[in-house]
Amino acid sequence: MMDISVSYLSVFLALFSIVCYLVRTKSSSKSLVADCLAPSTPRSVADCLPPSTPRLVAATAPRARQLGSARIAPEFRVSVNPFTPTGIAILKNRKKRGPGSNDDGTACPENRDHCSVQCTPPDHKSPVAVHPSVVRRLVDIGEVTNVSIRELQTSRFNEEFRVDEFIATGSFGVIYKCTNLFDGIPYAIKKIKQTMYKSPEYMVRKEVYANSAFGRHPNLVSYFTAWYERGHIYIQTEFCHGGTLERMIHESDHVFCDGALRRLLWHVCNGLAHIHSKRLAHLDIKAANILICKTDGSVVFANDLDDEEDIVDKHIVYKIGDFGHTICVEDVRNIEDGDSRYLPKELLRDDYSQLQKVDVFSTALTVYEAATRKPLPKNGPEWHRLRNGEFSLPQTPFLSTSLEKLLKKMVDLDPTNRPSASKVVNLLLDRGMAAIKEDQDEIEALKLSAQFLSPWLNDLDPSRTAPPGRLY
């Protein structure tokens, strides 16, 4: 009898377990259906899956699973670059959501299938690629939070690089020239301090985001990668062995003639035109942030200012660096002013309507500093005179009045009257073409004069015969 009772009890427990399992399965199905019927209030990342994808990911799944072309895990964080077209559209749509909405939530832009992001699962393992449709739904429901830099910690600096020399230091940290042990190429590596004012991660993100959004351009310092290691953030960029423009101006005997200044202005404005085309502004253009790469003279731009034989400083390429103050012109909530020596007056009035013209103003004063070799004032009467256009370049035969007029246009009190960076590039190119044409016209005039005077000279001295077209 005891055996029979035990058997009945075992059957009863088995049936009870099956019933409980079915009840739990039924309630989970109802919850999943409810989530599908109410997409405006999703409760898990599974809601982000395309409609055709089976919803098989449990909310407690510890590992990511492969579902078609998307790897999904619960509570993914997505890093969206606010300086790319996708990020700019996200910021604009975030404003439309109004107060009370998720701080990172927004609608995806029209071209949503091209969102390029990475996701990091909750176990902080390596980021994984996510299908654009999943990203779109993540953004739509507001589940967009940046991956913390400290969660991406790795060890690279001492294992992959050899420190060759110290370059500079500042409030941000230090910069070293380092050689990569694998490819043997020198790079500049910025080591950010552990303690910085305000939010260090926010400042570093701005610089990394800006660098990655710009891509490669001959007049911008190239960016390679960034990482977090042992309490410090590292940013790896191109090494410019010519130093900074500030050192060239104040610590060398380099001659800044008219052609050299025009080349400097053209290179900086060429880089700025590329930055401005991304709807961004640098906001910290100054001599210390313009770096120099020296070549053998073989690197000549397709639309350079003069003929290849007559290029002044053709072995020098100027590159814009340090993008820590970069801002999107459509989102000025976190704007930070650069060096006061190079900034226009409108920023003192908190007028941020023409931020790209701020870069044009700063570039003009940078060229003025190179022409005069005088440090710019931080304040005082001279500071105001420069911003009123009350300055002149040194009166030497090596500098033209046309360059001075162009610089004064670039520092106009009304930012709307200043030319854009691309306009300055075109003006310099037009002037270069005009100068070549003037030289050709002058040569032709000399030839005509020689042909006209040759018979008269021969009459004066019959024994002397001058070949046609040549004037002795």
In angstroms, rounded to a whole number, what is the distance separating the alpha carbons of residues 269 and 357? 11
Structure tokens belonging to residue 424: 């300055």
In angstroms, rounded to a whole number, what is the distance separating the alpha carbons of residues 340 and 131? 45
Rounded to the nearest angstrom, the gap between the alpha carbon of residue 237 and the centroid of all alpha carbons in its chain is: 12
One-letter amino acid for residue 400 of the chain: S
The residues facing 294 across adjacent strands are: 316
316-320 vs 290-294, strand pairing mode: antiparallel
Instruction: Name the nearest CA neighbour of 63 among 78, 76, 49, 54.
Output: 76
Structure tokens belonging to residue 195: 């303690």
In angstroms, rounded to a whole number, what is the distance separating the alpha carbons of residues 359 and 327? 12
Instruction: Name the nearest CA neighbour of 154 among 121, 125, 175, 176.
Output: 125
Rounded to the nearest angstrom, the gap between the alpha carbon of residue 65 and the centroid of all alpha carbons in its chain is: 35
In angstroms, rounded to a whole number, what is the distance separating the alpha carbons of residues 237 and 221? 7
**Contact call for residues 176 and 189 (beta carbons, < 8 A):** yes
Q: List the catalytic residue out of 140, 284, 322, 339.
A: 284
**Contact call for residues 286 and 362 (beta carbons, < 8 A):** yes
In angstroms, rounded to a whole number, what is the distance separating the alpha carbons of residues 146 and 120? 9
E-only strand ranges, 221-300: 223-229, 232-238, 280-281, 290-294
Burial class (CB in 10 A: 0-12, 13-18, 19+), 92: middle
In angstroms, rounded to a whole number, what is the distance separating the alpha carbons of residues 341 and 67? 56
- Report the SS3 class of residue 98: coil
* 284 included as an active-site residue: yes
In angstroms, rounded to a whole number, what is the distance separating the alpha carbons of residues 121 and 277? 35
Tell me the backbone φ, ψ of residue 202, rounded to 5 degrees.
-65, -45
Catalytic residues: 284
